[in-house]
Amino acid sequence: MARPRSEDRRSAIMSAAIRIIASQGLGAPTATIAKEAGVSNGSLFTYFDTKADLFNHLYVELKAEMAAVAMDRLPVESDIRQQMARMWSQWLLWATSSPEKRRALAQLVVSDDITPESHQAGKQAMAGIVKLLERSRENGPMRDVPLSFVAALMSALADTTIDFMIQDPANADQHCAAAFDALWRMVA
């Protein structure tokens, strides 16, 4: 008889996968992930059918976590600029305070193992951010540019800013604010 699944074990596997992917990449063996999680390799496959299945679950969970943090306590009574600024600072705070999650997600985003369904779930998780971006550009110079292009520009600016915030933590707030000002001038 199979052992019942434990949420604690699943969480340990997911946390271990983040650490291992961040340090060793997507090619790391599942046995390494299992060992890091403190479970047998067979137990890992009790929770995830395949390594790709693990990657897809992790991708969706990381996208959802990042989006949830970015949208947390959004000042809905404020104007769109203040809402975007809050989302931006929360997003960058998540990435700078969770560098392993950021590195793991960056690898998962470009992995061929991530299914179209998982990419779609990731997009759904980011829907609130996309709506803010859409509202921000309604009357700006980027209003007629494909939203996916504007989102890619925003993401590239975020990645660069996060790198500077990590490399220069004494000036992290200034980097975050300067990049947001650039983003706002670009879209609004």
Same domain for 130 and 40: no
Query: What pLDDT, on the 0 to 100 scale, is given for residue 5?
Result: 72
Residue range 39-56: average pLDDT? 94
Residue range 36-46: average pLDDT? 93
Query: What pLDDT, on the 0 to 100 scale, is given for residue 6?
Result: 82
Residue range 152-181: average pLDDT? 97
Same domain for 136 and 100: yes
Q: For residue 14, give the nearest of 50, 44, 49 by alpha carbon.
A: 44
Collect all residues with Cβ–Cβ distance below 8 Å to 6 and sequence separation of at least 6.
none
Same domain for 136 and 78: yes
Same domain for 37 and 3: yes
**pLDDT band for position 1 (cuts 50, 70, 90):** very low
Same domain for 176 and 141: yes
CA 44 – CA 47 distance, rounded (Å): 6
Same domain for 43 and 11: yes
Query: 125 with 60: CB under 8 angstroms?
Result: yes
> In the chain, pLDDT over 90 holds for what percent of residues?
93
Q: For residue 163, what are the domain limits?
A: 55-187
Same domain for 120 and 84: yes
Q: How many domains does the chain have?
A: 2
On whether the pTM is more than 0.85, the answer is yes
How does pLDDT run across 64-121, given as a tens digit for each residue?
999 999 999 999 899 999 999 999 999 999 999 999 999 999 999 999 999 999 999 9
